[in-house]
Amino acid sequence: MRAATRLSRIPTSFWAEVGQAIAALRAQGVDVIRLDVGDPDMPPREEIVDTLSAAAHAPDSHRYPGGSGAMELRQAIAGYYARRFGVTLDPAREVLPLIGSKEGIAHVALAFVDPGDLVLVPEPAYPTYRLGTYLAGGEVHVVPLRPENGYLPDLAAIPAEVARRAKILWLNYPHNPTGAVATASFFAAAVEFARRYDLLICHDAPYCDVYYDGYRPPSMLETPGARDVVLEFNSLSKTYNMAGWRVAMAVGSREAVAELARVKSNTDSGIFTPIQRAAIAALEGDQSWIGPRNAIYQARRDLILAALRDAGLAARTPVASLYIWAEVPASHTSLTFTKGLLEAQGVSVSPGAMYGVGGERHIRISVTAPTPRIEEAMRRLRAYCASVV
């Protein structure tokens, strides 16, 4: 039995390895606090859960749902984009429900990337942009994201011969892992870049409804001309605290939606109907609770930032996303720091190196744990830093 050659480029899941290490510590009685995953700790609104329950009891809810999603869900997604961003979408041709955005992000390369084709992938970044490219047999050209440029790619620095070969440019704002946000002028420049080099922009925007300090992230589809060259991925995971439900969307370019739908129609059979009903309830229901939820996240953000300052670790103050991006002490790499913090204090954070070489010497800390647990984790982080700095 021989695995496909393409899998030689796919590492073992970092999260699986972390999960095993945490399980071993917990088996020894260690109280581990996880701040490594952006996994909302607060539940969805009760109405959403009730809708799921009611739909699950309907006799016709258990048949194959169809790979392209119910028209009612596509209309609800279009309605959300109209209300939230002022973007008008055709539910039939510009909206595609996904079994979580990670599924669509991995599959889109199969729709556009042939073996040897080039994809422009930012770094640091969510690993699936790179890994989806590899699964399709494509090649990656790394586009560095540097703090001095606000973690925005310098599109002018991409060689013209590289840009001409590229099929996809990945963007992600608000950004994971750094929490950086994009300007309207940058989005406009990116659209012009895509038109010049005839490539597709895939914009991953799952954190657009997690924001602070009066900032409100835009959709890239608000940019003039974007709908011709942009496929935007969005998710109910972070906005509606539905990470485990696996329901999301790809919206924008009709051509891109159609080609991704063709891949999906041959690889999955759609989202469980009760989850689609619940997603409609989330998208069309009361949205006023999102502000108070974000206020809780913001208070946690500030708590973590204060602890990092006390520990002597520099960190960005994000105005969106679930993450704080902090530097590690000069005596450590991101991996040695996170390993030491977990083993010595039972606190798990993400090493920046897992987001690419450009993430080294940083850690990512999530705000998605109950506030008392974050307070305890920060007490432990201060103690650890005092022992190693």
**Per-residue b/e over 11-46, b at no fewer than 16 CB within 10 Å?**
eeeeeeebeeebeebeeeeeebbbbbbbebbeebbe
- Which tens digits make up the pLDDT trace of 21-70? 899 999 999 999 999 999 999 999 999 999 999 999 999 999 989 878 99
Decide: helix, strand or coil at residue 311: helix
User: What CATH number did the domain enclosing 258 receive?
Assistant: 3.40.640.10
User: What CATH number did the domain enclosing 341 receive?
Assistant: 3.90.1150.10
Q: Are residues 191 and 264 in the same domain?
A: yes
The answer to the question of residue 316 being in a domain is yes
The answer to the question of residue 111 being in a domain is yes
pLDDT of residue 374: 98
Q: Are residues 37 and 155 in the same domain?
A: no
User: Of the candidates 223, 249, 284, which is a domain's last residue?
Assistant: 284
User: Of the candidates 224, 252, 284, which is a domain's last residue?
Assistant: 284
- For every residue of 251-274, DSSP letters joined together read EE-HHHHHHHHHHHHTT-----HH
The answer to the question of residue 52 being in a domain is no
Q: Are residues 84 and 129 in the same domain?
A: yes
Q: Are residues 277 and 293 in the same domain?
A: no
Q: Are residues 177 and 280 in the same domain?
A: yes
The answer to the question of residue 302 being in a domain is yes
Q: Are residues 198 and 333 in the same domain?
A: no
pLDDT of residue 10: 86
Number of independent structural domains in the chain: 2
The answer to the question of residue 127 being in a domain is yes
What parts of the chain have a pLDDT lower than 70?
389
DSSP 198: T
Domain span at residue 121 reads 62-284
pLDDT of residue 68: 87
Decide: helix, strand or coil at residue 200: strand
